[in-house]
Structure 1
Amino acid sequence: MLVIGAATAQVADRRPLQFRDAAEEARFRDLTHELRCVMCQNQSIADSEALIAVDLRREILQLMREGRSDDEIRRFLVDRYGQFVLYKPQVEPSTWLLWFGPVLVLLAGGGVVWHVVRDRARNRGDVPVATDDGGEW
């Protein structure tokens, strides 16, 4: 009996959300597209069909209807799941590597390439050039 109730609850959770008006729907869509599904990792909450994403969509709509701003909803989710839930995390000491890491890797790679090219150019001058002495092989 409990199994049937759990299965029915999951189906009920997947019913389409009902919006009061187009403005509420547009705000909801914008907000859920900028939040990452905590299970799928590379999908937004809007695009994911994971049960947690379905639940989060319902919770976000509930928070909107309670009168919370988009920033308050984002903060609520960050407090619960961490900066990972945001596609664009805030720049702060704990996310510096996330924001500036790719630039550092690119600069380090450029430095290595520059160093290798410079060393090869220097070494070319040290190699004796073969001259043709006119002899046959």
Structure 2
Amino acid sequence: MRWLLPILAAFALLQPLSAQDRMPPAPYAYTQLEDPVLEEQARELMHTLRCLKCQSQSIADSDAPMAGDMRHQVRSRIAAGESPDEVRSWLISRYGDYVSYEPQVSSTTWPLFAIPIVLLLLAGMVLLRRIGRNTEAGEKGEGA
């Protein structure tokens, strides 16, 4: 009988996690906006936003419930008059820089842009030094 209590507690803890997938999709998750211009703006924006659950698909291409909720937010906010840039900023502030396929340079992302440049410069300097040494050694070997 003692083993029953931990099992019931585990089921009670797992229930909220499984309830997320049973929720009906948000109204604009799979329904387009009536105005074709606004829908085009929403679709263009959705192709530049990453699904946080899938990680390799945009929210426009993903079937994950999280992506459906994000599509709903994009369409709802654009229908309410927000610009795509305002919607993008809101999603980034809510989910972080990772949600965008087009990251902006900020105080938290600048190393992602700077480190590859520094590494390329260091590799170039090492390569130039080695080439310089090889040409010097070749010149000394020919003159002897």
- The answer to whether residue 30 in structure 2 is matched with residue 16 in structure 1 is yes
- Find the partner of 2:94 among 80, 87, 110: 80
CA distance in 2, matches of 1:47, 1:111: 43
Report what 2:133 is aligned to.
119
CA distance in 1, matches of 2:110, 2:20: 43
CA distance in 2, matches of 1:70, 1:39: 22
Mark the CA change 1:19 to 1:56 in structure 2 (over 3 Å): closer, same or farther. Answer: same
CA distance in 2, matches of 1:113, 1:6: 54
Report what 2:9 is aligned to.
none
Q: Partner of 1:93: helix, strand, or coil?
A: coil
Unpaired runs of at least 5, structure 2: 1-14
TM-score norm. by structure 1 comes to 0.74
Unpaired runs of at least 5, structure 1: 131-137
Which residue identity lines up with residue 68 of structure 1 in the other structure?
Answer: E
* 8 Å contact kept, 2:26–2:68: yes
- Superposition RMSD on alpha carbons, in Å? 3.0
Structure index of larger Rg: 1
- The C-alpha deviation readout for 1:34-57, integer Å capped at 9, x for no partner, is 212223333222122222112211
Mark the CA change 1:108 to 1:70 in structure 2 (over 3 Å): closer, same or farther. Answer: same
* 8 Å contact kept, 2:39–2:75: no
1:6 Cα deviation from its structure 2 partner: 6.7
CA distance in 1, matches of 2:123, 2:96: 31
Runs of 4+ in 1 over 4 A off after TM superposition: 5-8, 12-15
Q: Partner of 1:92: helix, strand, or coil?
A: coil
Between Structure 1 and Structure 2, how many residues are aligned? 128
Identity of counterpart residues, as a percentage? 35
CA distance in 2, matches of 1:103, 1:59: 36
Report what 1:97 is aligned to.
111
